[in-house]
Chains A and B, each alone.
Chain A
Amino acid sequence: MDDKHDAVSTPPSIASSRRRFLIQTVAVLPVAGSLAACDRVADGNASASTTATISTAGADSHCATPYQPKFFKPDEWSVIQAAIDRLIPADAEGPGALELDVAAFIDKQMEGAFGHAATWYMQGPFQPDATPLAGYQSPMTPRDLYRTGIAALNNHCQAHFGGKPFVQLTAAQQDRLLHGMDTGEVTFEQTSAGHFIALLWQNTKEGYFSDPVHGGNKHAASWTMIGFPGARADYLDWVAQPGKVYPLGPVTIEGNT
């Protein structure tokens, strides 16, 4: 498909002050996580004094222990959360990336073969400025790209937005930045903004739509939204019923419906 888009889109979002508050506050508070705090977060009544350090932001109302990132550091984690919340925001159409645990998905990917580029050809010499027709030519693994990309993004924000980090920008400012990185209007000195946003969007989409066994797509909610039955994988009876609406909701690899 042609992925080109016409203009920066900043539709009104119910992402709202509570969600933004969550992302921003979790980054700056000391570790003080508790299940009780988690409940209040989910209820939307969190205050700075009771919010857990790291929130899953998509936790059930009874809220298990919040996900503890292994790869991302706290300030990086808040940037990832804020960015994926812009890439796939929550709105009236359906869930956003944040509450489907896409950030946790990305963190887990960083700890596995993908994060380490284990199956990529990574021998030099490298020609990172080669024609785009040559595909990815950087020596950076996904782990490298996230680490350098997040730092560069924050540096860029602080230089251009009066010392504010990415998480403190408005949604519209964040959207313009992310699109600018994609179109090449925003570049970084330390790393490729284009590679970084391409990886972030790829992983966000993967975490949103892949089987929940990988840590994202919580409760297969994205599948329910679009009507994908997931791992049902048995439709012989339905081939013979052309045009009929398929009635069953999704099932996951682990058998959850």
Chain B
Amino acid sequence: MANITKPKVDAVVVGMGWTGSIMAIELADAGLTVVGLERGENRDTYPDFAYPKIADELTYVQRSKLMQSLAHETVTIRRHASEAALPLRQYGAFLFGDGVGGSGVHWNGFTYRATDAELKLRSHYEQRYGKDFIPDDMTIQDWPVSAAELEPFYDRFEYVAGTSGQAGNLNGQPVSGGNPFEAPRSRDYALPPLPTAYPSMLFEQAAREVGYHPYPTPASIASKAYTNPYGMQLGPCNFCGYCELFGCYMFSKASPQTCILPALARKPNFELRDRSAVVKVNLDSTGKRATGVTYIDAQGRTVEQPADIVALCAYQMHNVRLLLLSGIGKPYDPATGEGTVGKNYAYQKNSKIPVFFDKDVAINPFIGSGSGGVVYDDFNADNFDHGPLNFIGGAITFATVTGGRPIAQALVPPGTPKWGSGWKKAVKDHYLHSFAISTQGSVMSYRDNYLDLDPTYKDAYGLPLLRMTFDWKDNEGRMTQFVSHKAADVARAMNPKPTSVAINAGKPGDHFDTGPYQSTHTTGGAIAGDRPDNSVVNKYLQSWDVPNVFVAGACSFPQNLGINPTGTIGAMTYYAAKTIRETYLKNPGPLVQA
């Protein structure tokens, strides 16, 4: 029972990270009254991310200052349905961004585009390799959009974010120095690439020598002064090394704060309410229409916010949980394969290839940006022949030195003692003379990797936690072994020659370990598709079951990509917002007929 009922608005947006900020400004720009609800605190570049306080590894990385308190809400995890799921009590495998700006504050800024081979994944593999190539338990499916359909919206996001990069394919024409595998783009990136730091330079030369096609990482970090379409101004990055997991003090890294929120705040038809935790989407008696949302405010009061449109724009897992808590859509049942909410949870499979040099090679790892660097796509997506390889998917391989944080980023060679004088000497000898190549790989969706509500554990409000059932499959173990050994070949081809190269990669047979950080790129659970029986939302991110509910974010990915998700998340959200403005508002109802 709500203590308070607010006046009705046209649209309520749940979560004020990238997707919420995009949805809110686009709908407010169309004249709608919009309320943005964010359960964390409000914050801005100044004073929240100001120098020098931001330059603090202990506070921001070790103590996760920008992340959601798990005391309030976490997720439970089990590897198989036969296990009892246990809560993630401390941060480990992934992080939940918190507060206004969401994960768009602490992200690195990598802004990639997907290709048709990835978006039409099942069709593509069946056509090239035959239906038998896809294992029976792999529940991959095509996205309901093509690369050409998304192009204008990738473009829009990149120009809002001031993405710095090098085109590889302009309207079908190859461009030297860019990614030869990229889908055609209509124009250059918003800004030229960031300058290349020394380790990325070494990687680029070696990758080219080995025969691959390295190009500058597309980074939503300004390489020059830039004003975006909302009139927001960004300044050039200074490679401060406090980017990944930090807020940017330089107004260089794209975030809702640097790219959207001040412009949004000037609109009189928009209101932001922070410390407002949405616990439910309310439905009318038919269950086919949302009447608004219920949230708990900072004082613990239950507040009802009526609205004609509900946009769920929280983190991937939180969106799925809200759908389940609200009874929107049919929960997925892995035994029968029926139901869709929670289906096709996926992740990413990453590896590191630490490279060590002699003491006369000054790598200077503290000179870093979250996403500047060099990458190759030769073993990503289906850019290489999978026929003889016995796996589906691939990885991007890149050299981006994000900073030289000594607690967590100092590299020591294999065989170094865990502590003591030997450890200390190894850190001292290698700190300035090492870096790691990274691979970031796709993870397919499987019948028994899924999300539902936990029967035991509750959040601070007494509501069930989300339960993740997820384990690694051998497909991903084979993939990461393959791409990691290729990356090690590149490392060994570097000039100056490394003194040693290590491979820190998973393998077939591994089980999911929740302890070590791996990736925050969790996906699925409210996937987009072309039919109500295979998906939760249509290509406009509109719920098949409750058409005035839209669900934005990586929860819509039918399986995960090797690339970073934010470019595609931004593009899908802009596509949805444009369709709401131009089509839905004229005739509210299903945008795709089932």
Contact = CB atoms under 8 A, between A and B. Distances in A.
Interface string B390-413: 000000000000001011001110
Given A133-B513, A235-B239, A242-B198, A210 B407 contact: yes
B197 interface: yes
A9 B88 CA distance: 34
Contacts of A234: 238-240
A127 B84 contact: yes
Contacts of B58: 206, 210-211, 214
A238 B420 contact: no
Interface string B50-91: 011101111000111000011100100101000010111110
A162 interface: no
Contacts of B407: 205-206, 209-210
B181 interface: no
Given A121-B88, A137-B86, A226-B428, A9 B421 contact: yes
Contacts of A10: 420
B514 A86 contact: no
Contacts of B352: 1
Interface string B221-237: 00000000000000011
Given A5-B418, A226-B432, A231-B55, A210 B62 contact: yes
A121 B366 contact: no
Given A5-B418, A11-B421, A133-B513, A209 B55 contact: no
B354 A130 contact: no
B529 to A, nearest CB: 32
B511 A228 contact: no
B416 A5 contact: yes
B90 A135 contact: yes
Contact of A119 (B69, B86, B362, B514): B69
A119 B71 CA distance: 5
A11 B362 contact: no
Given A127-B86, A210-B62, A246-B364, A135 B514 contact: yes
Given A209-B406, A211-B57, A222-B406, A120 B418 contact: no
Contacts of B361: 243
Nearest to B414: A2
What is the interface of chain A mostly: helix, strand, loop, or mixed? loop
Contacts of B42: none
Interface in A167-196: 175, 178-179, 182
Contacts of B362: 243-246
A238 B88 contact: no
B417 interface: yes
Interface stretch (A35-43, A89-97, A151-159): A89-97
A201 interface: yes
Given A210-B62, A235-B239, A121 B87 contact: yes
B499 interface: no
A99 to B, nearest CB: 13
B414 A134 contact: no
Interface string A4-19: 1111011101000000
A236 B421 contact: no
Nearest to B53: A253
A240 B195 contact: yes
Contacts of B423: 88
A57 B201 CA distance: 45
A136 interface: yes
B70 A230 contact: no
A3 B56 contact: no
Interface in A216-231: 222-223, 225-231
B422 A137 contact: no
Contact of A233 (B240, B432, B457, B504): B240
B473 to A, nearest CB: 15
Among B198, B201, B354: residue with most chain A CB under 10 A: B198
Interface string A37-73: 0000000000000000000000000000000000000
Contacts of B411: 1
Interface string B338-382: 000000000000001010000001101011000000000000000
B241 interface: yes
Contacts of A94: 424, 428
B588 interface: no
Nearest to A216: B58
A202 to B, nearest CB: 8
B89 A133 contact: no
B407 to A, nearest CB: 5
B512 interface: yes
Contacts of B364: 235, 238, 245-246
A9 B366 contact: no
A238 to B, nearest CB: 5
A114 B63 contact: yes
Given A201-B418, A211-B57, A243 B71 contact: no
Given A136-B89, A222-B406, A233 B52 contact: yes
A87 interface: yes
Contacts of A4: 414, 418
Contacts of B419: 86-88, 178, 201, 204
Interface in B192-221: 195-198, 201
Contacts of B412: 1
A153 B69 CA distance: 32
Given A227-B432, A239-B367, A209 B57 contact: yes
Nearest to B368: A235
A133 B55 contact: no
Given A244-B362, A253-B53, A5 B417 contact: yes
B515 interface: yes
Interface in B494-542: 502, 504, 511-515
B52 A135 contact: no
Interface string B301-321: 000000000000000000000
17 contacts: A2-B502, A5-B418, A11-B420, A87-B420, A93-B425, A118-B71, A120-B71, A133-B79, A133-B513, A135-B86, A209-B406, A214-B58, A226-B432, A234-B238, A239-B195, A243-B362, A253-B55
Interface of A: 1-7, 9-11, 13, 86-89, 91, 93-94, 113-114, 117-123, 125, 127, 130, 132-137, 175, 178-179, 182, 201, 204-206, 209-211, 213-214, 222-223, 225-236, 238-240, 242-246, 253-255
Closest 4 interchain pairs by CB? Answer: A231-B55, A242-B198, A233-B240, A210-B58
Interface of B: 51-53, 55-58, 62-64, 69-71, 74, 77, 79, 84, 86-90, 92, 195-198, 201, 236-242, 249, 352, 354, 361-362, 364, 366-367, 404, 406-407, 410-412, 414-425, 427-428, 431-432, 456-458, 502, 504, 511-515
Given A9-B421, A86-B420, A121-B71, 15 more contacts: A5-B417, A10-B420, A11-B420, A89-B420, A94-B428, A123-B457, A123-B458, A133-B515, A135-B89, A136-B89, A210-B56, A233-B240, A235-B239, A235-B366, A238-B364
